[in-house]
Each structure stands twice: as C-alpha cells, then as structure tokens.
Amino acid sequence: MKAVTIKEISQELFNLTPKELRDLCLRLSRFKKENKELLTYLLFESSDEASYVESVKKEIDQQFEKINKRSYYFIKKGLRRILFNTRKYIRYSQNKKTEIDLLIYYCSKMKEFSPSIQGNAALRNHYIRQIRTIREKLGSLHEDLQYDYGLELKVL
C-alpha cells in the first residue's frame, strides 16, 4: 500500500465528523508508542510548555542515572539514546525556545557527567556538535532570548 500525500489526508480529514476523527485518533494511538506520546503532548501538555520542559528535564536526569559507565562505548550509546529521546520530545513541541532549553540542558548534563567526556575523543566531538547545533538554532530566536541563551552557552 502506498501512502497518500499530506494534502490528500488533510482534505479527507476535513470531510469527517468529530466522532469519526476521535475514533481515527484513538485507533492511530494504538499502533505506535510515539503516536500516543504525541497525542498526550497535544491534548494535555501543549497548553503549559514550561511544565512540559521540566518533565522532559526530569526524564533526562533519570536517563543519565541509568547510563552504563563500564566503558566509553556504553557511555556513548547511552548518550546517543538520550539525545534521540530528547529530539523526539523537541519534535512534539516544535517550539524553538523549548528546543534550545532542552539541548542546553542535555549539554550541561554531559559536561558534569562522570567519568568526564573529555577523556574520549568521540564523546568530546559529540558534545562539540551539540554546542554547534545550539549556536545555529539561536539565530531564529528573539534578540533578548539570544542574549540570555548566549550567556548559558558561554558557561558550557
């Protein structure tokens, strides 16, 4: 089966009744965990972005505690998994301020991680790439926010 375009889906959704839309969303949420997480964000958390950011930060903290520290290989895998999940939550929000908040928080947790990421070139490069990504994304924010986040970025 070939998937149709977003435009065609949008036109078809426009023709559905509210009950049919609800049933469709519930059916969609049964198939993938990410669909259910997105619906949860849209229905319950999108109205209060600050609490959403705090809940994601708590989850990042929990994930950092669970990282296997036996070797740099496992640390690198753990950090990539955390970044993957963080980017998933950023995609749900689609808010630039939230994106930069979470990426700065991720980098600050990486910086204070023990054993130090400076002991491994791959981890150091991963950290530098994230800092570079944050700098690139700062340009799309308001100047006041750019200044505030710029100060946080200097600390990193």
Note whether 41 and 95 are same-domain residues: no
Among the listed residues 59, 17, 12, the one whose alpha carbon sits nearest the alpha carbon of residue 4: 12
Note whether 31 and 69 are same-domain residues: no
Note whether 71 and 116 are same-domain residues: yes
Q: What is residue 94's three-state secondary structure?
A: coil
Note whether 63 and 96 are same-domain residues: yes
Start-to-end C-alpha separation, the chain: 48
| pTM, rounded to two decimals | 0.85
**What total number of domains does the chain contain?**
2
What single DSSP character describes residue 120? -
**Whole-Å CA distances, 21 to 8, 84, 116:** 15, 30, 50
Q: Using CA atoms, how far apart are residues 82 and 67, in angstroms rounded to an integer?
A: 9
- Structure-block tokens of residue 75: 């640390």
Note whether 36 and 56 are same-domain residues: no
In a domain, residue 144? The reply is yes
In a domain, residue 1? The reply is no
Note whether 93 and 74 are same-domain residues: yes
Find the mean pLDDT for residues 133-148: 81
The whole-number pLDDT of residue 51 equals: 92
Please count the CA atoms within 13 angstroms of the CA of 74 that sit on its side-chain side. 8
What single string gives the DSSP state of each residue in 31-74?
T-HHHHHHHHIIIIITT-HHHHHHHHHHHHHHHHHT---SSHHH
Domain with 57, as residue range(s), is 48-155
Note whether 62 and 19 are same-domain residues: no
Note whether 38 and 56 are same-domain residues: no
pLDDT by residue (tens digit) across 45-78?
888 889 999 999 999 999 999 999 888 899 999 9
Note whether 58 and 135 are same-domain residues: yes
Among the listed residues 107, 54, 55, 60, the one whose alpha carbon sits nearest the alpha carbon of residue 82: 60
Higher pLDDT, 125 or 140: 125
